[in-house]
Amino acid sequence: MPQHGTATVRSRVRIPLTFPDGYRADAEVLTFHGLADGAEHLALALGEVRGTPLVRLHSECLTGDVFGSDRCDCGPQLRESVERISEAGGYLLYLRQEGRGIGLYNKLDAYALQDAGLDTYEANTALGLPEDGRDYTAAAQMLHALGAPAIDLLSNNPDKADQLAALGVEVGLRVPTGVHLSDSNVRYLRAKVEHTGHSIALPSLVG
C-alpha cells in the first residue's frame, strides 16, 4: 500500500434509504479514523459483497443530491448508483468534495459565471480555482480499510480510475453510469466530455 497512511473503520450503522421515486435500499454506513484530509467521508455498503465489489466514488453535491438541481447530473447518478451497487454488491463512497473540491460557495459563484457564458471548468479557472481539485487519497484509504484493494469502478471519469490505481487500488472494470440529460445540464455534460474525457455516450454531446 502506498505511503498515504492507514485508515480504520470507526463505526457501522444500518440506515434504510428511500428515494423520492419510491426506490428503497438497505445500507450499512461506515465512518473512519485516520483519513488523510480529515474530512467526514462515508462508505455505504450495499447488497452482498462477494468477490470484486462494485464501487462508486460520489462527490457530495448539495444542490443536486438534496435539492434536485437540474444543473448537474449528480442526484440521478447517486440514485442510479445505489440501485446498481445494491444489485451487484459493493460500496458507495460519499466524499465531502463539493463542487469538484472547491466548496459550495465557490461552486455557486462558478454557476453565476456559467450563466454569463463560461463552461463549468472555465468558470473555476476564472475564479482562480482548479478545474477539478479532487484528491482520492482518502477514498483509497477507505477501500483498503474495507478490505477492497481490487474493485470495479462505477464512473464515467477516467481520472478517478487513474488516481486510485496510483494509490494502490486495482481497478478492473470501469463501468459507466447512465446519461442523465436535461435542458439545464447539456452544456455541463458536454464540458465533461470535451475537457476531461468523460465516457458519456450521447451523440448530441460528442458529435
Specify whether 119 is catalytic. Answer: no
Non-local (6+) Cβ contacts of 78 within 8 A are 58, 64, 65, 92
Q: List the catalytic residue out of 56, 71, 100, 134.
A: 134
Backbone phi, psi, residue 5, to 5°: 85, 160
Q: Does 50 qualify as catalytic in the annotation?
A: no
Q: Which one of 65, 73, 119, 132 is the catalytic residue?
A: 132
Sign, Cα dihedral of 102, 54, 76, 195: positive
Longest dimension (CA), the chain: 48
CB 86 within 8 A of CB 46: yes
DSSP state of 64: I
As annotated, the active-site residues are 132, 134
